[in-house]
């Protein structure tokens, strides 16, 4: 049994708690949030002890591991506290808003020697895992070109002020477009070596992007584009398209389609119920438990997540300078 504490018992913390409740091998024993009234409601709903100071939760000897779902700019402190206490760490994406913060939290994890698992949830979507398995089989050949979309309503009910300011890790690209980027890197299975990008604020008055286009070159010769748009009126597009040497793939959260011989054919639908995200979280937790127990390396490592962040940082520099920027 892995006894878990949630640092950041908010909306997505509740998502984690619901997934944990379905797994016999994990138990929620503690949660933290600075808002005492909201914390009391969270613990009433999900059980466990409540802490208004995450450092007290990190120091709780009954806690084996933590999931950190705080605002993006508040990741470093909880990671450092959990690492110093010897806890296995499940950190929600993005790793941190700046390279210096990424380096700081990675250094604390390395010094403590604890597992660090990053919550890039699209890698655990049943449909995207189905596509990954197809690519790994070689049946589709080698990726040549990919286009990955994250196009959605930006002002969702859970949108907070810190989401609207790049200084606090906000913006469409850092918050949601990162999923489209991460899954493309994962599916192409090669690091990005350069990026040319445009970032704009076209839909809302905010101090962060809501419309971005990234053009990527990969180390294996593949190329790709990432479209990240947080509109105020439209209809969502959550799809990655891959042109490979032996076929074309269209991958969404509900299905994988393969194009060959001028025909599209859908693969058998993945088992995920009505909520792909809930099933993806369950898949993530099973992988994290294995990593926390030392049974396997983290499926999404600190190195993996740092590369995604480096691409975003390079994209931001490219947008400022209007130049192609090398990554890494």
Write down the pTM of the prediction. Answer: 0.96
Per-domain residue ranges of the chain: 2-114, 125-268+307-326
Query: Is CATH 3.30.360.10 the right assignment for the domain spanning 125-268+307-326?
Result: yes
Whole-angstrom Cα distance, residue 18 to residue 20? 6
Whole-angstrom Cα distance, residue 234 to residue 89? 37
- Given the candidates 3.40.50.720, 3.40.50.20, 2.60.40.420, 3.30.70.1230, the CATH classification of the domain at 2-114 is 3.40.50.720
pLDDT value of position 127: 97
Task: Spell out, as residue ranges, where the chain has pLDDT lower than 70.
Answer: none
Instruction: From 157, 169, 39, 161, select the one nearest 91 (Cα to Cα).
Output: 169
Whole-angstrom Cα distance, residue 142 to residue 311? 22
pLDDT value of position 298: 98
pLDDT value of position 262: 97
pLDDT 10s digits, 259-274:
999 999 999 988 877 8
Buried/exposed 12-26: b ≥16 CB within 10 Å, e otherwise: bbbbbbebbeeeeeb
Whole-angstrom Cα distance, residue 157 to residue 45? 21
296: exposed, middle or buried (Cβ count in 10 Å: 0-12, 13-18, 19+): exposed
Whole-angstrom Cα distance, residue 293 to residue 273? 28
pLDDT 10s digits, 124-180:
999 999 999 999 999 999 999 999 999 999 998 889 999 999 999 999 999 999 999
Contact at 8 Å (CB) between 32 and 6?
yes
Q: Which two tokens stand for residue 214?
A: 């990234």
Angle at 309 between CA 3 and CA 106, to 5 degrees: 50
pLDDT value of position 215: 99
Whole-angstrom Cα distance, residue 124 to residue 287? 9
């Amino acid at each position: 049994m892995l006894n878990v504490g949630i640092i950041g018992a908010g909306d997505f913390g509740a998502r984690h708690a619901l997934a944990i409740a379905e797994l016999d091998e994990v138990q929620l024993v503690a949660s933290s949030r600075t808002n005492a009234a909201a914390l009391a409601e969270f613990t009433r709903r999900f059980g466990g002890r409540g802490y208004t100071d995450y450092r007290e939760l990190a120091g709780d000897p009954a806690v084996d591991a933590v999931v950190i779902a705080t605002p993006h700019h508040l990741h470093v402190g909880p990671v450092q506290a959990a690492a110093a206490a010897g806890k296995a760490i499940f950190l929600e994406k993005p790793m941190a808003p700046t390279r210096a913060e990424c380096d700081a939290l990675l250094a604390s994890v390395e010094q403590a020697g604890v597992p660090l698992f990053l919550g890039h949830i699209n890698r655990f979507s049943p449909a995207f895992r189905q596509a990954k398995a197809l690519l790994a089989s070689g049946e589709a050949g080698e990726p040549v070109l990919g286009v990955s979309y994250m196009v959605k309503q930006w002002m969702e009910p859970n949108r907070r002020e810190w989401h609207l300011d790049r200084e606090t890790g906000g913006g469409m690209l850092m918050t949601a477009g990162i999923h489209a980027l991460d899954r493309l890197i994962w599916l192409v299975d090669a690091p990005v070596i350069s990026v040319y990008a445009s970032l704009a604020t076209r839909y809302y008055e905010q101090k962060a992007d809501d419309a971005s286009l990234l053009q990527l070159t990969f180390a294996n010769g593949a190329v790709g584009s990432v479209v990240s748009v947080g509109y105020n009126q439209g209809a969502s597009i959550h799809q990655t398209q891959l042109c490979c040497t032996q076929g074309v793939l269209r991958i969404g959260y509900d299905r994988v389609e393969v194009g060959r011989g001028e025909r599209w054919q859908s693969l058998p639908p993945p088992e995920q119920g009505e909520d792909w995200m809930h099933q993806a979280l369950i898949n993530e937790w099973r992988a994290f438990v294995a990593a926390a127990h030392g049974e396997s390396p983290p499926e999404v490592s600190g190195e993996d997540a740092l590369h995604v962040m480096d691409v975003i940082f390079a994209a931001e520099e490219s947008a400022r300078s209007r130049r192609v920027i090398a990554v890494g």
